[in-house]
Structure 1
Amino acid sequence: MSTDDLTFDPAELHAVSAKGDGVASHRLAVLTAMGLWVRQDWAEALRLLERAAAQGHEPAGDDRAALAALPDLGQWLTPPRPRALMAGPAILTVPDFLPPSVCDWLMDQAREETRPALVYDPATGDGLRNDIRTNSASQIGLERMTVTMALVRERIARIAGLPVPGLEWTQVLHYGVGQTFDWHVDWLNPDEPGYAADLASRGQRIATLLVYLNDDYEGGETAFEAGGLRHRGKKGDALMWANTLPQGGVDPRTRHAGLPPTAGEKWVLSQWLRGRAPTG
């Protein structure tokens, strides 16, 4: 059975999984890891992943192999403390946030699925192409979610102190030589009518977290106007910043850019975090 033939109904998935279908077992493992429509249970998610791999579902086997690089669950779900990079806007670094093998796995997951990256249209809230952003992106939505990715998202949420349901779908970004995401902010301007419905449903983008998935390139720093900061982490390091102020308003000091690589290619995981799950 193909993934396209399956729903996300847990009862149906359990029935199909019990008949030996690895696709259903893997999808059920992902839902259990994420706590979607079922109670979140990491032990059960890992058991279902083992079942899916034993049933011959190749993506489940790849998913299980990626997990082999992770430390024990308790250590993984207790991420290291971030370190502030500057006084002023809350911009922090987290060394060794992801193991190098997971970085490689994420790049492999994204490589075949990259598309031209989009920006929000402030008039409508829809995505559109714009010369401000010339890199490409691969979005990992529910159809492409894995147990490994669910664990990465859990770790991101825990280090940011924000709920997992408030995470937008994770993206893996690719920058070739000369490609950039020019100066911009990640928060949504509450004065723009095109953002009103999104903000009402999901709230503001409270924080952004990046993970540098490789470091064998030149240039490509993450630049902030505040303090003239230019930052480039090593493979597996995270960079995190708050898009909002403690009082709740947006922080204009977080204007930043993804500068272009001058040699090689840059891969980075990008995660926007909201304060709650979508409503309505």
Structure 2
Amino acid sequence: MSYCKKWLPLILIIQMIIPMAVSQFEEFVCSTTGNYTTESLYRADLNGVLRSLSSNMNAGGFYSASVGRANVAALCRGDVQLNQCQGCVNIVSQTILVNCPNQFGAIMWSEFCMVRYSNESFLGRLSTSPARILYIGTNSTSPVRFRAAREELLDDVRARAADGGSLRKAAAGNTTGPDDQGIFTLLQCTPDLSAENCTRCLVEAAGYIQGYINDSTGIRVYTPSCIYRYVNQQFYNITRLQEPLVPASTPPSTAAAPPPGVLSLVPPPPSPGNYSLVEVFKLGI
């Protein structure tokens, strides 16, 4: 399946009730660029990297590697403890092969981590597709003032997330919107991105919700390079986010970041692998 430049109006809206235990959230996408055999060298390389993912996660909850033709990355939500991160990555790195048993590329998100792989290099490259959006079906009672308060908060948190180092690019914050409604957000990028491309990713993630679910009191946008999330109650561990991170003696292998991108709401060129379009899910809470 190929992309076209004007694909946002073609977004497929799928209404699906997700259980209240949102910690069980899982969503995956398999690429359509081709298949391999389970006996191939690619599968052997992929198996080896996936088996080692959880044990190689750095202090910030990120690891990327290239072995043979297999390029793999894992990212944990910035506020989870390392042992919880490793447990999540261990499960997802096994489950992703069950869901996408012979596709050259795949990505899987869960509540606390993401695992991604491809036979084409993507390390250090910005990618905002495929994307998955979850939202709460309750809208703000004062949408204009709500959006103003939300955007002021997100501008601040986005800048702090992009300013993060090579171990973690994540930040959180909160404000009080109209009618004393709380707004709590956590924004995060894969730390192999430059500050400019982290900003661009989060801006483009925010652009997905405009015109569809812009006034919802809770939204998550999952992309391969960044996570955009806010809700009306605190959901993150701010203490963990404020902990100083100490780099390991041997840092994870990552590709060099590309030159800074231009800040824009226009989606970038398709990432390695052809995937389905954006899908939107309604949270049953």
- Which TM bucket (shorter chain)? under 0.3
Structure whose alpha-carbon radius of gyration is higher: 1
Specify which structure has the bigger relative contact order, considering alpha-carbon pairs within 8 angstroms and separated by 6 or more residues.
2
Scaled by the length of structure 2, the TM-score of the pair is 0.26
- Larger proportion of helix: 1
